[in-house]
Chains A and B, each alone.
Chain A
C-alpha cells in the first residue's frame, strides 16, 4: 500500500510539470501577456516591459521561458499583477479561503442530502418516492447553475423585498459593504444562496450515483447470503449494503472536484463572491498573466491531488483491487 502511494506521488510531479507547461503555452498563445501588459500600462517604458518579460519568463522561446517562470515560481519570486502592481499571494490566499469555505459547505450539504435521497430511492425502486426523487434529480442536473442562481436572486432577494419589505438573503459578497471583523451568522446568511445553487447540482448528481450503486449491491449474491444467515434487515443494509455501495461513490466524489469547482466559478461570479472563480474571471478578462499562472497551478495541483485520493481510497476500500 505504502509503495503504491509513493509511486503514485512520484508520478504526480512530472504530470504537474507537463500540465503546467501546457497551461503556460495556452495562456501565452491565448492571452498574449506582453500585449495585455502594454494595454493596461500604456506609458510603461521599454525597460519596464523588458523587466516584465524577464520576471514572468515570457521569452520568445517557450521552453526556456517556461523554465524561467518555473524557477521564479518555485523560489517564491512571484511577479506582481499587471494592474496596480498588487502582490499575488495575498489575493490568491483570500480567494482560496473563501472558495474553500463555500465549496466545503456546498459539498457537505450536497453529499449528505444526495446520499439520503439516493438511498431512499433505491430502497423501493419503481415506487412513487423513487420516481419523484429520480425526476427531481434529472431536473436538477438539466438546469445549469447560472439559471438557478438568477431565479433564486429574483425570488429570495428582489421579489421578497417587494412583497415582504426586506429581502430574505443578500445576493452579493461575503459581508455588507464596510463591515469589518468576523460574524458567523452574517457570513452564513451571505453564503446561503450560493451554497444552495452549488449544493443542488451535487445533490442531483449524488442521489443518482448512490441509487444505482446501492441497487447494484442490493441485487448481489452476498446480500442474499447475509439475509439468509438471519441478520436483521437493518444490519444487512447498513453493514453490507451501504458500505459496499459507498465505494464507487467515494471514488466519483474525489474525481468530481473539477466539476464542483466549475460550478463554483459560475456561482461566485453571479453572487460577486470573492473566491477563486471571481479571481479567475477578473484576471482572465484582463489577461493578467502574473495572477493567472499561480491560480492555474493551484487548480491543476488540486485536481491531481483529488485524483490521487480517488485512486488510493478505491484501493483501500475495495480489497479486490490489486495494486500492481
Chain B
C-alpha cells in the first residue's frame, strides 16, 4: 500500500531514477570520468577553457576537466551525505524514542536543547560547533583533522540528530498510548524491548523521511561550509561538490560561467531529487495525509 502510494508520486519516481543513475555513475568514476581528478586536459595554455570536445564542461584555473572533477566531487558529497545521515538518524532515533517514551526531566531537557539549537541561525551554530569539535584534543582520534572529510561527516552526524529526535519523539508519543504497547506492557515486556520491538519499527516511516532530509541537509551543509572556506580541504586534488561550488564564487565576476553553472546545477538536481523522494515517502507512510487535497 505504502509502496503503491510512493510509486504514484511521479516526481519521486523520476528522482529515484536520477539518484540511482548518479550513484552508479559516480561509483564507477574511474570509467566514467575522462581524466583523473588532478589531471589537466592538455598542455598549457589550458586554464579556463570553455566547454569543448576534449573538455565537455570546460576547465578550471589550472586546466583540469570540470566534468571529471564533478564526478569525483559528487562521489565525495554523496558519501558525506549518506554517512553523516546514518549517524545522525541512529542517534536521533534513539534519543527521540527514549525521550518520548520516558518523558519527564530527560524529555524536557532534550527538547529544550533541541529547540535552542534549531532556533539559532544554522551557519552560526555550525561554525561554532565545528570549531569546538576541532579544538577538543580527545576527540581527534574520532574526528580526524579539521580539514578532512571524516571531520565533516562526524560534524554533520552530531549536528543533524536534533531534527530527527524531534520527529521520532512525536511519533513515539502517539504510539505509546496505543493498545499494542499497553498489551506488551501488560505481559511484562521491558522498556528496552518495547522501544526496540514496538516503537522503533512502527516509526520506520518518519525515520526514513528524516533520513532523506538529513542526506540533503548534510550535502547542502557541506557545500555551504566549503563555500565560506570552512569545508574539507582539497588535499592531493581531492574534491567535493562544495569545493567546486565554492570555486564558482570567484568565477562569477570574471565571466567563466561554466565553473558556476554546472556545479550549482548538479547540486540543485541532487537536492531536489532527494527532497522529492523524502516528500513522497512522507506522503506514502503517513496514512493520515490525503494526497491531492
Inside 8 A of A270's CB, which chain B residues have their CB?
249
Over the window 91-133 of chain B, the binary record of Cβ atoms lying under 8 Å from chain A Cβ atoms (1 yes, 0 no) is: 0000000000000000000000000101111111001111110
Q: Which chain A positions have C-beta within 8 A of B220?
A: 144
Let me know if B119 and A258 touch, CB within 8 A.
yes
Q: Which residues of A contact B196 (CB under 8 A)?
A: none
A303/B264 contact (C-beta < 8 A), A30-B135, A126-B293, A138-B276 known: no
B120, A258: Cβ atoms closer than 8 Å: yes
Which residues of chain A from 141 to 167 have a CB within 8 Å of any chain B CB? 141-144, 146-147, 150-151, 153-154, 158-159, 162
Can you list 24 A-B pairs with a CB-CB distance of less than 8 A?
A23-B128, A26-B132, A27-B128, A29-B131, A29-B132, A30-B129, A30-B131, A32-B135, A138-B275, A141-B275, A142-B271, A143-B272, A146-B224, A146-B245, A151-B260, A151-B264, A154-B260, A154-B261, A215-B293, A258-B119, A259-B122, A262-B124, A269-B228, A303-B119
The 8 Å CB contact of B123, one of A31, A151, A266, is A266
Do A153 and B122 touch across chains, with their CB atoms under 8 A apart?
Answer: no
| B14 at the binding interface (Cβ < 8 Å) | no
Q: Does A199 contact B (CB under 8 A)?
A: no
Closest to B253 in A: A158
Question: Does A125 have its Cβ within 8 Å of any Cβ on chain B?
Answer: yes
Chain A residues in 8 Å Cβ range of B131: 26, 29-31
Asked if B224 and A30 sit within 8 Å, CB to CB, the answer is no
Counting from the closest, the 3 A-B pairs by CB-CB distance are A30-B131, A262-B121, A30-B132
- Chain B's nearest CB lies how many Å from the CB of A72? 22
Q: Compute how far the CA of A171 lies from the CA of B276 in the bound complex, rounded to whole angstroms.
A: 32
Q: B272 touches which one: A19, A139, A258 (CB < 8 A)?
A: A139
Instruction: Report the minimum CB–CB distance from A27 to chain B (whole Å).
Output: 7
Is the C-beta of A281 less than 8 angstroms from some C-beta in chain B?
Answer: yes
B130: chain A residues within 8 A (beta carbon): 30
Task: From B11, B220, B248, B252, name the one whose CB has the most chain A CB atoms within 10 angstroms.
Answer: B252
Residue on A nearest B216 in the bound complex, by CB = A142
Query: B256-293 vs A: 1/0 string, CB under 8 Å?
Result: 01001100100110011001100100000000000011
**Which residues of B have CB within 8 Å of A261?**
121
Whether B257 pairs with A255 at a CB distance below 8 angstroms is no
Interface of B: prevailing SS: helix
A299 on the interface (CB 8 Å rule)? yes
User: How many angstroms from the CA of A110 to the CA of B264 in the assembled complex?
Assistant: 24
With a 10 A CB-CB cut-off, give which of A135, A151, A154 has the most chain B CB atoms: A154
Please give, as numbers and ranges, the residues of chain B lying within 8 Å of A29 by CB-CB distance.
131-132, 135-136
In the bound complex, CA of A26 to CA of B253 (Å): 36
Residues in B whose Cβ lies below 8 Å from that of A19: 116
Q: Shortest CB–CB separation between residue B173 and chain A, in angstroms?
A: 19
Which of A29, A150, A259, A265 has the most B CB atoms < 10 Å from its CB? A150
Docked pose: A141 CA to B220 CA in angstroms = 12
Chain B CB within 8 A of A37 CB: no
Q: Does B255 belong to the interface (CB within 8 Å)? A: yes
B212 contacts across to A, CB distance below 8 A? none
Chain A residue with Cβ nearest B257 = A154
Q: Which residues of B contact A303 (CB under 8 A)?
A: 119-120
Chain B CB within 8 A of A190 CB:
no
- Which listed residue, A138, A146, A158, touches B279 by the CB 8 Å rule? A138
* Proximity bits, A257-274, B CB within 8 Å = 1, else 0: 011011001100110000
B227 at the interface (CB under 8 A from A): yes
Among candidates A143, A255, A265, A269, residue contacting B119 with C-beta atoms closer than 8 Å? A255
Task: Write out the residue numbers on chain B whose beta carbons fall within 8 Å of the beta carbon of A158.
Answer: 252-253, 255, 257
Q: Tell me, in angstroms, the Cα distance from A303 to B120 when the chains sit together.
A: 7
A26 to B293, CA, bound (A): 46
* Contact A26 B128, beta carbon cutoff 8 Å: yes
Within 8 A of A (CB), among B189-224: 216, 220, 223-224
Rounded to whole angstroms, the CA-CA distance of A126 and B275 in the bound complex is 20
Given contact pairs A139-B272, A147-B267, A303-B120, enumerate 19 new A-B contacts (beta carbons under 8 Å): A19-B116, A26-B128, A26-B129, A30-B130, A32-B135, A126-B293, A135-B11, A142-B271, A143-B271, A150-B248, A154-B260, A158-B257, A159-B257, A171-B253, A258-B119, A265-B124, A266-B228, A270-B249, A299-B120
Q: For residue A147, which residue of chain B has the nearest CB?
A: B264
Given contacts A126-B292, A142-B271, contact A258 B121 (CB under 8 A): yes
Whether the Cβ atoms of A30 and B134 lie closer than 8 Å is: yes
Please, how many angstroms separate the alpha-carbon atoms of A105 and B134 in the complex? Answer: 37
Which chain A residues border B224 with CB–CB below 8 Å? 144, 146, 266
Residues of chain A within 8 A (CB-CB) of B216 are 142
- Complex CA–CA separation, A259 to B121 (angstroms): 5
A247 to B: closest C-beta gap in Å: 20
Q: Chain B nearest CB: distance from A264 CB in Å? A: 8
- Check if B268 sits within 8 Å of A162, measured CB to CB: no
CB pair B253–A144 under 8 Å, yes or no, is no
Of all chain A residues, which has the CB nearest B129?
A26
Within the assembled complex, what's the spacing in Å between the Cα atoms of A125 and B292? 7
Nearest-neighbour CB distance to chain A for B13, whole angstroms, equals: 15
B293 contacts which chain A residues (CB < 8 A)?
125-126, 215
Tell me if A280 and B279 are in contact (CB < 8 A).
Answer: no
